[in-house]
Amino acid sequence: MSRSSRDLPPLSALRAFEAAARLGSATAAAQELFVTHGAVSRHIRALEDWAGVALFERVGKRLKLTDAGRAYRDAAAVAFDGIAAATQRLRESGGTQLLIVNALPTFAMRWLLPRLAQFQRQAPRVEMKLVTSDVAAARLAHGSFHVAIRREEEPWPKGLVGASFLAEREIPVAAPALLKKIPLKTPADLARHTLLHADTRPGAWTRWLTAAGAAPVEATAGRQHFDHFYLALQAASDGLGVALGPLPIIEDDLKAGRLVAPLTGPALPSRPYCWLVPETLVEDPAIAAFCTWLEEQGEAA
C-alpha cells in the first residue's frame, strides 16, 4: 500500500480520541492538549462519523469506551508509542539525545537535582529535560516522557515497565530552633507541636504513630496542611512545626543542620521510588543508562 492510499483519520481527531480514552474525560483531554472542551468533543464526533462506529458512551459528564473504542484505544496507544520511539531515534541521529524525565516534585528537588551533574558527566551527549508532576504515570500523555519517577505501584501501569530503586523511611523532623523552644524527646511530646501534613501523603502521621505504639495525638498547637509534600518540608525547615521527613531524601538537610530528627525511631518504611519507561523505549541506550544510574545511586544511598 502506498503512503498516499492509506486511509487514516485526521491526526487532531486521533489525538483527541486517545487523550479522552486514556483520561476518561473530554475536559481532562482538553487541558492536556491545550484546546477547548468543545474542540475535543467535535474531534471525537468527527472520528466516530469518519469510522461509522460509536467509540464512547456518554454517561453524564464521563466518557465510557465501547468495545470498539477500547480496541481502537489500545491500537492507537501502540502507534503513538511507536512514533515516539521513532522520533527519539531521529533526535539521536542529530548528535545529541533528548531525555525527558518526569519526576515527583519533592523527589526532584531534594534528591535528583543535587545528583544530576554526575549523570551528565557520564553521558555528555544526553540533553536532560526535567519535568515535575504528581500525575499518576498511567495518566501521562504518550510521548511526553521517556522516564517517569514515581512511588511504587504494582502491577505497573499497562504499557510501562519499571523497577524500584530507592527505599524510603519516614521519621519526624523539625528545625533546631523549634526544638530548643519545645523539646521533642518522645512521641507523646508531639502533642505540644504543630503537625505538618501533606495532601499527597494522606494518613502518614496516623501510620507513623501506630508504628511507634503511640496513641493518636491531638496537637494542642494545631495542624497545618499543604497540597505538596515539599511545602511541608520547607515549613518544617522554617520552624512552623514537625513534619514526617523521608530518608534518604532529606539527608542533605540533616547534614546541613536545616532539619533535625530528634527521635531514634521508628523510621517507618513507605513505598519506594521506582522508574517507569514505556515498553517501546526500555532498550534505548540512553534511557537504560539513566535507569541503571538511578539504581546505582539508590544502592549507594
Is pLDDT at 2 greater than 80 in this prediction?
A: no
Lookup: cell for 241? 512545626
Does the pLDDT of residue 62 top 80, yes or no?
Answer: no
Between 32 and 87, whose confidence is greater? 32
Which pLDDT belongs to residue 116? Answer: 93
Contact between residue 226 and residue 243 where contact means Cβ atoms under 8 Å apart:
no
Helix or strand (DSSP H, E) at 275: strand 268-278
- Please report how many Cα atoms fall inside a 13 Å half-sphere around the Cα of residue 198, on the Cβ side: 20
CB atoms within 10 A of CB 19: 23
Residue 139 φ then ψ, to 5°: -95, 0
Question: Do 198 and 216 touch, CB atoms closer than 8 A?
Answer: no
Given pLDDT bands bounded at 50, 70 and 90, which one contains residue 295? very high
Nearest to 297 by CA among 132, 165, 168, 148: 165
For the segment 34-47, the average pLDDT, to the nearest whole number, is 88
Count CB atoms within 10 A of the CB of residue 75: 11
Residue 93 confidence (pLDDT): 63
* pLDDT for position 1: 38
CA distance 18 to 75: 10
Domains of the chain: 7-80 (1.10.10.10), 90-166+272-300 (3.40.190.10), 168-270 (3.40.190.10)
Burial class from Cβ neighbours inside 10 Å (0-12, 13-18, 19+) for residue 195 reads buried
Instruction: Report phi then psi at 130, rounded to 5.
Output: -100, 125
Q: What is the mean pLDDT of residues 159-163?
A: 91
pLDDT above 70 covers a percentage of the chain that reads: 92
Packed helices 26-33 and 11-23: angle between N→C axes, nearest 10 degrees: 120
pLDDT higher than 70, residue 272: yes
Lowest mean pLDDT among 51-65, 89-103, 235-249: 89-103
Give the lowest-confidence range in 13-27, 61-75, 120-134, 212-226.
212-226
- Report the Cα–Cα distance between both ends of the chain, in Å, rounded: 54
- CA 154 to each of CA 148, 150, 163, 203: distance values in angstroms, whole numbers, following the listed order: 15, 12, 10, 20
Residue type (1 letter), 30: A
- Min mean pLDDT across 35-39, 93-97, 122-126, 225-229 is at 93-97
| Sign of the CA dihedral running 49, 55, 59, 63 | negative
Residue range 64-78, pLDDT digits in tens:
899 999 999 888 888
d(CA 275, CA 149): 5
Mean pLDDT, rounded, for 50-73: 87
Separation in Å, CA 63 to CA 15, 34, 53, 139: 16, 19, 15, 15
Which of 2-16, 30-44, 165-179, 190-204 reaches the highest mean pLDDT?
Answer: 165-179
pLDDT tens digits, residue range 96-153? 788 999 999 999 999 999 999 999 999 988 999 999 998 888 888 778 899 999 998 7
pLDDT at position 254 is: 93
Residue 298: pLDDT above 70? yes
pLDDT exceeds 50 at position 22: yes
CB 124 within 8 A of CB 246: no
Name which of 249, 234, 247, 197 is nearest 219 in CA terms.
197
Compute CA distances 51 → 12, 23, 154, 233, 244, whole Å: 15, 21, 36, 52, 53
